[in-house]
Amino acid sequence: MKLAAGLFDYHLPEELIAQYPAENRDASRMLVLDRQTGACEIHRFGDIVNYLNPGDGIIFNNTRVMHARMYGIKNGTAGSAKVEILLVSPADTVRKKWKALIKPGKRTPPETRVKLEPSDVNQTPGDDWITVLQHLDDGTFLIEFDSADIDGIQQKYGHIPLPPYIRRKDKPADMERYQTIFAKESGAVAAPTAGLHFTPEIMAALCAKGVKQAELTLHVGPGTFKPVAVEDVTQHKMHHEDFLLPEATVEMINSVHASGHKILAVGTTTVRVLESCVDSRGTLVPRAGSTDIFLYPPYQPKAVDMLLTNFHLPKSTLLMLVSTFTEREKVLAAYELAKKEKMRFYSYGDCMLLK
């Protein structure tokens, strides 16, 4: 069955794209959408505690954003062309070899050497290099660092990889604000942004109310920003992302559902993992691996009852995923209300609760 990408299109004034985070994490606003009726209300984010009951469960993605963007000079020669490198994922066990995106890719052939530039202009320049090994079929490059100290390399040369619609350079504050407070497992090149609103105080309030909490990991890749460029959504080629769903999290979810309570997924990345781990019998099972699951209507989530998510780009796979929780028309009507109320969109913006 064909599904037109244009059905998920909407116009967004550029001034509504948040370029900076709110002053405080929980200062964001939350549009609450009733999945059954389509009714919408706008609250402060801290009110999320009121939408969960004792015995409900909330699942977070604990991935940590790498200092994945680096800059360098071809051949290390002053005046030579600059190169931008975005690390995607390690390609060997010692993490010297990586898959990466490179700009300008066409002018950076195999065997090119790139000398890295410190992320802080006040730092003393080092003598750290990468070598471009291969141009891969998926558009990425295979690169190799001279040094095996990749954590040290990222600290000295790496920038926080802000999304392309944030039209500014990263700042020191982004190192904290473009991470969730529960970020643990390094490997993402984009934040699971629905989690950015949580504070220790809100986490404590959820715990005090008797809301169970558990974690999983999905390392968000650059493909999350890839638009659907085909007319028929079902023909879109989805990207792969590595994940881990622990047994303890599965046990918590099954326990919550067995007691008649609800599971809230924090972010579309959490949904992708959980729905990837539902077997043919409809049973949730612990797994680790890589997923290219693509969720769009008329699919209905099997492991998740409620979704907290930020606002997503037009015609994006993430907007299509959100539309599996309720009718597409209700989602787009909620987006129109968010625009009217001057809510802030995308990674550093406000959020939406589908209950």
Digit-coded pLDDT (tens) for 261-306: 999 999 999 999 999 999 988 899 999 999 999 999 999 999 999 9
The reported pTM is 0.92
Preceding amide of 104 cis, omega within 30: yes
**What distance in Å separates the CA atoms of residue 204 and residue 272, rounded to the nearest whole number?**
26
SS3 label, residue 278: strand
Residues 328 and 212 in one domain: yes
Number of H helices, E strands in the chain: 7, 17
pLDDT tens-digit profile of 163-201? Answer: 999 999 999 999 999 999 999 999 999 999 999 999 999
Residues 255 and 319 in one domain: yes
> Residue 166 domain-assigned?
no
134: DSSP letter: E
Residues 273 and 216 in one domain: yes
**In the prediction, which pLDDT does 305 show?**
97
Residues 49 and 120 in one domain: no
Residues 53 and 105 in one domain: no
Residues 180 and 300 in one domain: yes
- pLDDT over threshold 80, residue 135: yes
Give the CATH number for residue 96.
Answer: 2.40.10.240
**In the prediction, which pLDDT does 282 show?**
87
Q: To the nearest whole number, what is the mean pLDDT of the chain? A: 95
- pLDDT over threshold 80, residue 17: yes
**What distance in Å separates the CA atoms of residue 196 and residue 351, rounded to the nearest whole number?**
10
Q: How many residues does this entry show for the chain?
A: 355
**What distance in Å separates the CA atoms of residue 133 and residue 153, rounded to the nearest whole number?**
19
Strands (E) across the chain are located at: 29-33, 40-44, 57-61, 63-65, 69-74, 82-90, 97-103, 113-116, 129-135, 141-145, 185-188, 212-218, 241-245, 263-266, 287-291, 306-310, 351-354
SS3 label, residue 120: coil
Identify the domain containing residue 148 by its residue range.
Answer: 69-157
Domain count, the chain: 2
233: DSSP letter: G
Give the CATH number for residue 205.
Answer: 3.40.1780.10
Average pLDDT over residues 25-43: 97
- pLDDT over threshold 90, residue 81: no
**In the prediction, which pLDDT does 239 show?**
87
